Amino acid sequence: MAEDEIKENIPEVETTQEAPAVEELLLPRDTLLSAGIHIGTRMKTLDMEPFIYRVRPDGLFVLDVKKTDDRIRAAAKFLARFEPAKVAVAAARLYAQEPIKKFCEVTGATPIIGRFIPGLLSNPLYPNRIDPEVIVVSDPRADAQAVKEASRVGLPIVALCSTDNEFAGVDLVIPTNNKGRRALAVVFWLLARQILRERGELAADKDPAATIEDFEAKISREEEEEP
């Protein structure tokens, strides 16, 4: 499934970080920026260039939060079409594991936490094999095995991508900081909220019972990830 087919209704947006006179974002711009969802890495790929707003003096590439907002909406609309348990969500990165666990609790999706076992999607003889209809990954590089197997069996793939990610095998990209603890919590909370709203399970002006703080990883200093 090509990304163009999934995002065909996504409007064109201006590449700007300055709020226009009238703007509707899923959360206030200051909240999104304070969570760091726009902070990329010191590397960029050609794939991610359309989502990059600027490069900071310290060399970090910065993402356009309006485009992130648009893609969260598009991904939620797409994922809401599937039976909840048929949506699988993979996270190898430590900071993504708690957000994904909570996302799956809230939406009914199937979590794949930690190391992705080869054959989980593709080996019919594997006793713990799962059979989703779509998969979400927190980082296509860290979750490369999940992307590889999902592509092999023809599953559409939604991926959180930072400035250093490539799109090989990915059908729908959500441009965001996919390494930061708070950023991951905010993005998965927003995605969960939007899915519930798209399903009609949550009013357009209501939030889930679970808060962003509930989605955020709680880990000790000893467990901190390397950058």
pLDDT in tens, 159-205: 999 999 999 999 999 999 999 999 999 999 999 999 999 999 999 99
In which band, very low, low, confident or very high, does the pLDDT at 87 lie, cut at 50, 70 and 90?
Answer: very high
Q: Which helix (H) or strand (E) holds 101?
A: helix 94-107
**Domain contains 17:** no
Judged against a pLDDT cut of 60, whether residue 152 lies above it is answered with yes
Judged against a pLDDT cut of 90, whether residue 65 lies above it is answered with yes
**Domain contains 227:** no
In which band, very low, low, confident or very high, does the pLDDT at 70 lie, cut at 50, 70 and 90?
Answer: very high
Judged against a pLDDT cut of 50, whether residue 123 lies above it is answered with yes
**Domain contains 16:** no
**Domain contains 36:** yes
In which band, very low, low, confident or very high, does the pLDDT at 3 lie, cut at 50, 70 and 90?
Answer: low
Q: Which two tokens stand for residue 156?
A: 């559409």
Q: Over range 63-75, report the average pLDDT.
A: 97
**Domain contains 19:** no
Residue 7: the pLDDT is 44
Percent of the residues in the chain that have a pLDDT greater than 90, as a whole number: 85
Which residues, other chains included, contact 13 with Cβ-Cβ below 8 Å and sequence gap of 6+?
A: 64, 66, 67, 70
User: What Å distances lie between residue 226 and 38, 62, 180, 223, CA to CA?
Assistant: 19, 20, 11, 9
**Domain contains 121:** yes
Q: Over range 72-77, report the average pLDDT.
A: 98
Alpha-carbon distance 162 to 143, whole Å? Answer: 13
Domain of residue 138 covers 3-10+25-219
**Domain contains 18:** no
Nearest Cα to 77, choosing from 170, 178, 200, 181?
A: 200
Half-sphere exposure (Cβ direction) of 186: Cα atoms closer than 13 Å: 25
Q: Which two tokens stand for residue 1?
A: 């499934």
The total number of structural domains in the chain stands at 1
Which residues, other chains included, contact 195 with Cβ-Cβ below 8 Å and sequence gap of 6+?
A: 76, 79, 80, 107
* CATH label of the domain that carries residue 127: 3.40.50.10490
Q: Over range 23-50, report the average pLDDT.
A: 94
The strand pairing partners of 17, in sequence order, are none
**Domain contains 146:** yes
Judged against a pLDDT cut of 50, whether residue 148 lies above it is answered with yes
Fill in the amino acid letter for 118: P
Residue 218: the pLDDT is 87
Please give the mean pLDDT across all residues of the chain: 89
